[in-house]
Structure 1
């Protein structure tokens, strides 16, 4: 990789961090703010309802013991529901609760309002979002594209005990 490529990629990473810092969670989330690790788990469970606890822990890069602690906290806050698999009670599937879904809508509204002033057209937003999905999949060690998780973890782990 050339020096110019490294500089371009550094600038991209720096801008991603800068934008993320400008998009804090809205103050009207219930029951209140979550830790960054809880947000990471909630984001994943929200995008993959019904995921096994084991697959979610792996995808979030957390050891099982740490994931269990985070999961207990999210269940206590009423944000995640654990459901046993009707075919195998050893398997636990995770689902966002109605409270979590309401929080997602609050965040969508708040972040959408904040970004609307940037005057980006639909094509630009779609291109940037696709590029960021590819980057996220690459950094997670998975495939690229919209089905990155499907190809990387989900199919392999749907029967794992969680």
Structure 2
């Protein structure tokens, strides 16, 4: 089994957030969307993937203080990206659902991010482009592994 050296792990740890930041900003700029703060971005990402979560569920899954989630959700509601839907069995309980606007913007951003990446990959050398293509599944598995470890 191939292991990465500490140096390569540190390089990967620096590269992934920088790549994410560049993709986010390029997509938001191209679509003229106002950037979401990181907590709001993670909340909307989670609510899009799991509609109906309660704010407490979001706080637990993201390991964020409930008060921070509450403030971020209030902002997302004001932006028209999240709806708070009362539970039919207990109207005091609110479930978070993405709005149609959130779904549209998310889909548009996903297309833009793919375009941004495609343009950048086209400028890479063939060996670098092939290495990235080969790494896609490994990065997805790495993400899932990290999420599982954090949930323990």
> Scaled by the length of structure 2, what TM-score is found?
0.78
Following TM superposition, by how much is the alpha carbon of 1:132 offset from its aligned partner in structure 2, in angstroms? 2.3
110-119 or 87-96: bigger deviation? 110-119
8 Å CA contact 1:29–1:103 kept in 2: the answer is: no
- Higher relative CO (Cα under 8 Å, sequence separation at least 6) belongs to 1
Write out per-residue CA displacement over residues 97-138 of structure 1, whole angstroms, 9 at most, x where no aligned residue: 001001101111111111224245866422322222322443
What corresponds to 2:106 in structure 1? 104
- The 3-state SS of whatever aligns with 1:26 is helix
Task: Give the unaligned 5+ runs of structure 2.
Answer: 122-128
Structure 2 residue aligned with 1:72, among 74, 77, 86? Answer: 74
Task: Give the unaligned 5+ runs of structure 1.
Answer: 144-162
8 Å CA contact 1:80–1:96 kept in 2: the answer is: yes
Cα separation, 1, equivalents of 2:16 and 2:135: 16
Q: Which runs of 4+ in 1 moved over 6 A?
A: none
Cα separation, 2, equivalents of 1:63 and 1:21: 23
Is residue 134 of structure 1 aligned with residue 148 of structure 2? no
> Scaled by the length of structure 1, what TM-score is found?
0.73
- The 3-state SS of whatever aligns with 2:9 is helix
* Structure with more helix by fraction: 2
Root-mean-square deviation (CA, aligned residues, Å) is: 2.2
Write out per-residue CA displacement over residues 46-71 of structure 1, whole angstroms, 9 at most, x where no aligned residue: 11111111101222222222211111
